[in-house]
Every structure is written in structure tokens, then in C-alpha cells.
Amino acid sequence: MGEIEAHESKLYSDFAPFYDKVFGKIFSSRLRRVIGDLHIPKGARVLELGAGTGTSFPAYPRHCEVVGIDVAPDMLARAQGKIKANGWSHLKVLEMDALNLEFPDDSFDYVMAFHVVTVVPDPVRMMEEAKRVCRPGGSIVVVNHFTSDFPLLGLLTETLDPVTRRLGWRTNLKLGPFIEATELEVEKAYKLSKLSLYTVLVGSNQKNGYHRV
Ligand SMILES: C[S@@+](CC[C@H](N)C(=O)[O-])C[C@H]1O[C@@H](n2cnc3c(N)ncnc32)[C@H](O)[C@@H]1O
């Protein structure tokens, strides 16, 4: 994977007032399906990286404990507002950098990264942190747009990359090199519909000698 330019993640604080209006409904319904398909068991500890305004929050079952982290305080303020308005005692948010998590190793059963791997300056580092704080055999779930392998579409998204970077995300990340560089043990990779631009990856955290049999 090539060198990844650092970019101003706090840019998302500027997006906060209109983020839900632009992306909220689409992202929420996508994440409702992804999270529903996981059948998260009672008592599971869940970490969501780059949780933003909490578009995923309505989808989490109340029987699990969820921590959402993000670097943009204005995005988190909106997430916190939703937590309060809905009385979601199973959810909390913290300001934290996904590249330097302040949690001990093996703290979570699930680590989620929804629409965030193309936003952070170093997705490989973020995935290393995800693996560290996820317990052996836990699940790492990524939802993201990856550059198409179809030559024309791929060329178009790569051409758009300098523009979208200014807006806060990159479009030139390919799925194969991402999986290779992060060494994610993918159990399931799918799209929610044939034409969807987004890929869902469900990985099993294979570390400390843990291997699924
Ligand atoms: C496209 S938004 C996705 C938000 C949410 N996951 C969703 O699906 O609606 C990307 C989020 O990643 C956050 N972010 C960017 N860099 C980050 C970092 N280094 N650590 C944690 N969050 C980060 C941004 O502040 C923003 O809220």
C-alpha cells in the first residue's frame, strides 16, 4: 500500500451540522442491516471507531455495551445528543484517536469501522490498533467504499481522489491491497446490493496463537 497523506480529520467538526442531513438516512439503514446480521450476543463489548454523529447507534441491541470514539468533538456532541434523547444507557462516546487507542489489549469482542478507513491518515495503523484492542477470536467489521477493479470505474475514482481528499476522504484505496496490508482474516466479504459501492468485511481477530477451527 502506498504512502498515505495525513489529512485534517478534524475537518469533520465542520461537517457536523449537516452530516446527518446528507448521509444520515442512507448510512443508518445500511448499518442497521450490517449490525443486525452480526447477531451481537448479550453482554458483548463493542468499540466503534470514528463513530461520528452515531448514525449506527439505533442499530445496536440494548443488551450489549458500546463505546464510540471519534476525533471530532462536534460530531460526538451530536452522537451524545442522540444518546441522551433516546435514553441509550448501553452507549457512550469518547474523544479519542483511532490510531492511538487508550484501551488495554483485548478489551472488546467487536471492533467496528464504518465509513472510516478512507478517512483516517493511516488505515493500516488503525487496523493494527483495532486488532490490539479486540480479543483473540473477536470480530473486526469494516464497511467502506473501495476503488473498483473495473478499469474505467477505478480510473474515475482515482481521478476524483484529489478532490474528495479536500472534502475529507480518499477514493483510491483498493480492497485487495487493504486486506493484504492489514492482514485481516476475512470471514465474510459482501455487498448489501449488487450495485452498492460499499463493501462489508467481517474479520476474525486471529492473534496470540488463536486460530478458528
Ligand atoms: C465519514 S465519517 C463516518 C462516521 C460514522 N462512522 C458513520 O458511518 O456515519 C468519518 C468519521 O471518522 C472520524 N475520524 C477521522 N479521523 C479519525 C481518527 N484518527 N480517529 C477517530 N476518528 C476519526 C471523523 O471525525 C468522522 O466522524
pLDDT digits (tens, 9 = 90+) for 103-122: 999 999 999 999 999 999 89
Q: Is the pLDDT of residue 27 over 80?
A: yes
Instruction: Find out whether the beta carbon of 19 lies less than 6 Å from any atom of ligand 1.
Output: no
Question: Strand 45-49 to strand 91-95: parallel, antiparallel, or no bridges (unpaired)?
Answer: unpaired
pTM exceeds 0.95 for this model:
no
Task: Look at residue 45 and tell me if it is in a domain.
Answer: yes
Could you tell me if 19 and 82 are in contact, meaning their C-beta atoms sit under 8 angstroms apart? no
Contacts of 40 (CB under 8 A, 6+ apart): 46, 60, 61, 63, 64, 110
Cα angle for residues 201, 206, 210 (degrees, 5° grid)? 150
In tens, the pLDDT along 59-102 reads 999 999 999 999 999 999 999 999 999 999 999 999 999 999 99
Task: Look at residue 165 and tell me if it is in a domain.
Answer: yes
Residue with the three cell numbers 463493542: 46
Task: Look at residue 83 and tell me if it is in a domain.
Answer: yes
pLDDT at residue 51, rounded to an integer? 97
d(CA 90, ligand 1 centre) in Å: 21
Sign, CA torsion 96/100/106/110: positive
d(CA 60, ligand 1 centre) in Å: 18
Q: Which range is least confidently modeled, 47-56, 119-128, 169-178, 194-203?
A: 169-178
Q: For a pLDDT cut of 90, what percent of the chain falls above it?
A: 66
- Residue 37 φ then ψ, to 5°: -65, -20
pLDDT at residue 34, rounded to an integer? 97
Task: Look at residue 2 and tell me if it is in a domain.
Answer: no
Task: Look at residue 1 and tell me if it is in a domain.
Answer: no
Adjacent-strand bridge partners of 65 = 45
Q: Is the pLDDT of residue 124 over 60?
A: yes
Task: Look at residue 57 and tell me if it is in a domain.
Answer: yes
Task: Look at residue 209 and tell me if it is in a domain.
Answer: no
Burial class (CB in 10 A: 0-12, 13-18, 19+), 123: buried
Instruction: Find out whether the beta carbon of 16 lies less than 6 Å from any atom of ligand 1.
Output: no
Domain carrying residue 43: 11-204
How many C-beta neighbours within 10 Å does residue 165 have?
Answer: 15
Domain count, the chain: 1
Q: How far apart are CA 141 and CA 120, in angstroms?
A: 16
Task: Look at residue 180 and tell me if it is in a domain.
Answer: yes
CATH code assigned at 121: 3.40.50.150
pLDDT at residue 22, rounded to an integer? 80
Instruction: Find out whether the beta carbon of 101 lies less than 6 Å from any atom of ligand 1.
Output: no
d(CA 213, ligand 1 centre) in Å: 34
Burial class (CB in 10 A: 0-12, 13-18, 19+), 131: buried
pLDDT at residue 20, rounded to an integer? 83
